[in-house]
Amino acid sequence: MNITLRFNSLLWGIFFLCAAQEDSVLSVRVLLGSFPITEDISIELFSKKGLTITGSREPHKKYLFDDLVTLRLKNQKIYLEDQKDESSVLLLEAGDGHLEFDGNKYSGTFYVYRTKKTIDIVNKLPLEDYICCVLRTEGWPGWSKEVYKVLAIACRSYLLYQLRQSKRTKRHYHICATNAHQTYSGVHSDQVIKQAVDETSGIFLAYHGQPILAMFDACCGGIIPARIKNGINFTEAPYLARSYACSYCKGFKIFNWSHDISLSKFIDLMRAHVSDLESVDDIEVVTDNAGVVQKIIITDDEQRYTINGKKAYSLLPFVKSFAYTCQKKRSRVVFKGTGYGHHVGLCQWGAKELVSQGWDYKKVLRFYYPGTNFMKLYKKASAIIPDSQTSSLVHTAGA
């Protein structure tokens, strides 16, 4: 297996959850890639202004490279060029503080972790820089600064929640760079996004003094989250149990979607889970009170196969949400759905419409995360202090 990484030279004491900070700036570690240690991997590292690599086994020893170096994983051993390194962690630093990984440019530093099962590539950078970067991929081009303020606070809240989780699980990263957490693909030059992040710096949403699991999707499809039967622990996250609908995304094209495929293609997709499926006589979709698919029942002659909603979602790559119908029409299967995503938390297109109607970022976030408070991180203080206009809570904390 060959993987090319080009490095172009170009916690919860987050004040009160992390035990200690490595430096004076609050930083985040993002998992960019994880590769099985049993596979042979070749990694190219490149830096126009030089690349320094330090290993945990011999921290006094530094590898200095002018331009290109190849890191190889072979027989579960790491080699820099042809020299074996027994370190469990490698620190990679570019001359100008900017690295390139798999076609995307990142600020900060990189770590290569060797565990019993994987080789993990982790990017460390300041928290606010991460928020600025992540908004490019989690937001939509051309949106206003006020909408990006909404997204900045949601993304920051979600990150702080994950920082707390990482401390509990003792993992060597805080958050993933994929849509398993938040999609992150490095630096950009969008000044509107940068201004939105700067003007909301440190602000996050809290429930009972702790950052919330600020889930969001592109379009909620009008689903009322409190009626969703499975998937979310509303006892632990009552702020996600919104008991009223968002109708503000209804006017956008993204609200409705449809897709039809041949019956033979549908059968092929389902065989990944139901290996003996040969034909389809009928398809029944069972939903909960919210309209979210709980299961699909396929009738094949006298056989009935039941596939739960999450599994069906994973088997059908064109399905954009969990709220849809599915009908067999002769030799075709027709899907019709609403929304884009999981229907929980902030609705991005709904937020865009609310902003266009004159709502500010605070009012929008209160609508989508009822019962939460705004709080703010102060980087050079040992406290998390609430936004004076929205909360009366004060939490002291040791750095």
Does the pLDDT value for residue 18 go beyond 50?
no
Give the global pTM: 0.87
Does the pLDDT value for residue 81 go beyond 70?
yes
Average pLDDT score over the chain? 87
State both tokens at 261: 């495929």
pLDDT at 22: 43
Quote the CA–CA distance of 146 and 361 in Å, as a whole number.
6
Could you give the C-alpha distances from 70 to 3, 77, 83, in angstroms and in order? 11, 14, 10
Does the pLDDT value for residue 390 go beyond 80?
no
Q: Point out the least confidently predicted range of 85-99, 271-285, 309-323.
A: 85-99
Position 309 confidence tier, pLDDT thresholds 50, 70, 90: very high
29-46 mean pLDDT? 87
Does the pLDDT value for residue 31 go beyond 90?
yes
pLDDT at 49: 83
Task: Residue 12: count other Cβ atoms within 10 Å of its Cβ.
Answer: 21
Position 301 confidence tier, pLDDT thresholds 50, 70, 90: confident
Does the pLDDT value for residue 80 go beyond 90?
no
Position 5 confidence tier, pLDDT thresholds 50, 70, 90: very low
Quote the CA–CA distance of 242 and 368 in Å, as a whole number.
7
Instruction: Dump pLDDT digits (tens) for 109-153.
Output: 999 999 889 989 999 999 999 999 999 999 999 999 999 999 999
Classify residue 289 by burial, with Cβ atoms within 10 Å: 0-12, 13-18, 19+.
Answer: exposed
Q: Point out the least confidently predicted range of 101-105, 129-133, 277-281.
A: 101-105
pLDDT at 379: 57
Quote the CA–CA distance of 386 and 394 in Å, as a whole number.
6
Position 48 confidence tier, pLDDT thresholds 50, 70, 90: confident
Does the pLDDT value for residue 178 go beyond 80?
yes
335-353 mean pLDDT? 97
Does the pLDDT value for residue 24 go beyond 90?
no
Residues 76 and 37: beta-carbon distance below 8 Å? yes
Share of the chain above pLDDT 70, in %: 88
Residues 337 and 256: beta-carbon distance below 8 Å? yes
294-299 mean pLDDT? 96
Task: Give the list of residues 6+ apart from residue 85 with CB closer than 8 angstroms, or none.
Answer: 55, 57, 78, 79
Classify each residue of 25-54 as buried b or exposed e, where b means 16 or more C-beta atoms within 10 Å of its C-beta: ebbbbbbbbbbebeeebebebbbeeebebb
Q: Point out the least confidently predicted range of 22-26, 158-162, 207-211, 280-284.
A: 22-26
Please enumerate, as own/partner, the contacts of 129-133 that have beta carbons within 8 Å and a separation of 24 or more.
130/28, 130/30, 130/159, 130/184, 131/155, 131/156, 131/159, 131/197, 132/188, 132/193, 132/194, 132/197, 133/106, 133/107, 133/184, 133/185, 133/186, 133/187, 133/188
Does the pLDDT value for residue 6 go beyond 70?
no
Instruction: Dump pLDDT digits (tens) for 151-170.
Output: 999 999 999 999 999 988 88
